[in-house]
Structure 1
Amino acid sequence: MLKCNITIGKYTFTRCAGAEVERSIHDIVDTCKIKLPVAVITMDNAGKWATDITDVVKVGDKVEAFFYYEDYEQYGEKFNGWVRKVNYAYPAEIEIENDAWLLRKAIDKKAFAKASIKSIVEYIVKGLGIKLYPKMPAMQIDTYNVKANNALVELERLRDEFNMVCFFTKDNTLYFGPAYTHKFDDDEAQNTVKYALSGPTTNLIDATSLKYVYSDERKLEIKAMAFVGGNKKIELSVGKSGGDSRTMWFTASDKKTLEEQALQKLKEFNYDGYEGSLKTFLIPLAKPAMSALITDPVFGREGRYFIEAVKTEWGTGGARRDVSISIKLN
């Protein structure tokens, strides 16, 4: 049986008309949308009654939500965050975001010279109650100017300028660093989700958005960058343009070494394997930065892929996950 447990501010709901959670390694802001009745009759901890959703739910309220199957709580979807918006419709839709909400605060300008990206990120989130993932790149950059943006906008600008990813991961820690290198869980068994495309153990609803591509069909370009001597940036491109393009940072002492490293990475990415997304039930659990072990006994295929985004839907028709994969890990 599908169940939910939702606490918004002082109020707790054990039923809702539906919910949707979206997470991605490419977005700092994870979102959750919950549909609740416009008219409610509930009592808070102080014994006060309310009869309208706008009396109960306010922008900025803290939210703890849990959507699960009874007796299978370990596979449920948890979302902690803050009310971003209340859409007064039928039913009402509550828009919630994760701790990115805490980043929507103005920060002071600051000019950095010969500083690490880690020190810049620490400055941007200082005093905002954000827990940082401890392993961040110690890459030194020549200059960087923090503008008078809010912290969220500044993190997005820093991320885009240096072609990194920034997202909230396990235990609500904020990761900032290269894409496809972070693991949701250091325990490989806990970090792996198994999907069977065929055979008696198949556990998918739909795999039509998943396709198998051979290496000679792929158009992949890698834009390689590195800092030499701590502050001079060098860059180059390898591969085929006109298709998938990925910007990556390397540790290289000169342009020749950078090219060799980029070509090796291109070889790793230019594989026979799957790309796209697949639709599953709520079970098994899947999170961005986990790895998906995909097997197809009919064609004798097996490979491990990086999960970059997950969309979870919960409602009267059941619970579903859309899992998007990216690079092949082996």
Structure 2
Amino acid sequence: MAFVLNSVIKIGKYTFRGGVIELTIKKNVNMIVSTAVLKIPGLGRIVSLKNTINSALNVVGLGVQEAVQNLPVSSVQTGKLFAEGDKVSIDLGYNGDLRNEFRGFVRRVNLTTPVSIEIEGYAWQLRNQNILASWSKPTTVKEVLARIIQGTDIVLSPDIPTIKLTNYYIKNENGLKVLEDFQKRMLLTVYFDDNVLYVGIQEGRTTNTAAGQTGTLAEVKYSIGYNCAANQKDLKQRLAKDNLVRVRLKTKGKNGKHILYEAGDLNGSIYERIIPFSNDENYLKTKADGFLKRLKYDGYEGSITGFLQPYCQPGWKGTIIDKRFDGARAGTYFVPGIEVTFGVRGARRKTEITYRLDV
């Protein structure tokens, strides 16, 4: 059976069906801003979509649509059809079986040949609003997040844990800067799944509508040599005994004294961080144990490259099935990120794997 690549991309009021020269999508739980770069022909022709095509593209009920059809010379310069802030939706697949890979907004249009369109996820909506706020009473990360997403299309994940904050304030900063502070200073995992914002421990998001399951991490299975190539050159072995490390997290308590939590090897190199705004000991323990698990494990790290299917997104767990090497590469790993490439040269999904979840 032949596999034919399909794409449906909507930007603003225009819809493309095919015609992609090159597309690169990058998403990662360690990146607040998901990105996509789309390259399309500089010339096109606008044609009205008939109702039957509207139905096929699943845009019924969204009003009259227009499409840019890639044809020889025409009177339309495609780059001038789009502007920063236009909504974007990208669906990719084979033989009409498409899955959504990205939703976001145009960040920049480069009038090059071919036209290059830079796209960002829903973090874009937090760039252009400055916030001045403070909490005199103890608050939580979730309450602060509810403040910064006001006036946007962003919703909060139901899996965000309760993390207490004391003396927290936002000093005339945009929402994106607040998220960066949570990520860099409090060592929280901060990422978007379309318009759903998650902030918490790295593997804490278990409500995933795209995967059609809740209560556990969504899962993708890679059978080496079956649904992905046998030669995975970016898959590297890792041994816990080769990495001696001690994680040390501390913060100030109510009485001004430091609260300290450590985990790992007593004689290991020290990974130390000071956490502001929180004297939550359970949070410190969870973070320290989580960092140690990422730094010390037996198994593999790197990435697996396959086709668009099997489908996978950041925050999932990836199970590797490999009967070679006495099954040494088999196991279940956390997937922090994916990179999708699509275009005239074909399509690939690179799935990053990190620490093991089945030990």
**TM-score clears 0.5:** yes
Aligned residues of 1:34 and 1:93 also touching (Cα < 8 A): yes
Q: Unpaired runs of 5+ in structure 2?
A: 49-63, 68-73
Aligned residues of 1:164 and 1:177 also touching (Cα < 8 A): yes
SS of residue in 2 equivalent to 1:90: coil
1:135 aligns with 2:159: yes
Q: Unpaired runs of 5+ in structure 1?
A: none
Provide closer, same or farther for how the CA distance between residues 264 and 182 of structure 1 changes in structure 2, counting only shifts above 3 A: closer
Deviation at 1:279, TM superposition (A): 1.1
Deviation at 1:231, TM superposition (A): 9.4
Matched letter for residue 56 of structure 1: L
Write the distance in 2 (CA, Å) between the matches of 1:189 and 1:134: 13
Normalised by the size of structure 1, how large is the TM-score? 0.84
**Corresponding residue to 1:87 among 78, 94, 110:** 110
Deviation at 1:292, TM superposition (A): 0.5
**Corresponding residue to 1:162 among 186, 190, 201:** 186
Matched letter for residue 124 of structure 1: I
Aligned to 2:220: 193
Provide closer, same or farther for how the CA distance between residues 190 and 2 of structure 1 changes in structure 2, counting only shifts above 3 A: farther
SS of residue in 2 equivalent to 1:121: helix
Aligned residues of 1:269 and 1:328 also touching (Cα < 8 A): no
Deviates more, 1:90-99 or 1:230-239: 230-239
Aligned to 2:87: 62
Provide closer, same or farther for how the CA distance between residues 68 and 268 of structure 1 changes in structure 2, counting only shifts above 3 A: closer
Deviation at 1:272, TM superposition (A): 1.5
Aligned to 1:222: 247
Aligned residues of 1:222 and 1:262 also touching (Cα < 8 A): yes
Write the distance in 2 (CA, Å) between the matches of 1:98 and 1:254: 28
Write the distance in 2 (CA, Å) between the matches of 1:310 and 1:264: 21
**Corresponding residue to 1:292 among 315, 318, 324:** 318
Which runs of structure 2 are paired with 1:139-288 in the superposition (5 Å)? 139-169=163-193, 172-183=195-206, 185=208, 186-187=213-214, 191-198=218-225, 201=226, 203-204=228-229, 206-225=231-250, 234-239=259-264, 252=281, 258=285, 266=292, 270-288=296-314
Deviation at 1:251, TM superposition (A): 6.1
Provide closer, same or farther for how the CA distance between residues 88 and 262 of structure 1 changes in structure 2, counting only shifts above 3 A: closer
Aligned to 2:42: 38
Normalised by the size of structure 2, how large is the TM-score? 0.78
Aligned to 2:357: 329
Deviation at 1:182, TM superposition (A): 2.1
Provide closer, same or farther for how the CA distance between residues 22 and 46 of structure 1 changes in structure 2, counting only shifts above 3 A: closer
| Residues 87-111 of structure 1 deviation map (CA, whole Å, 9 limit, x = unaligned) | 1111111111111121112233112
Aligned to 1:6: 9
1:117 aligns with 2:141: yes
SS of residue in 2 equivalent to 1:203: coil
Matched letter for residue 350 of structure 2: D
What CA RMSD, in Å, does the superposition of the two structures yield over aligned residues? 3.4
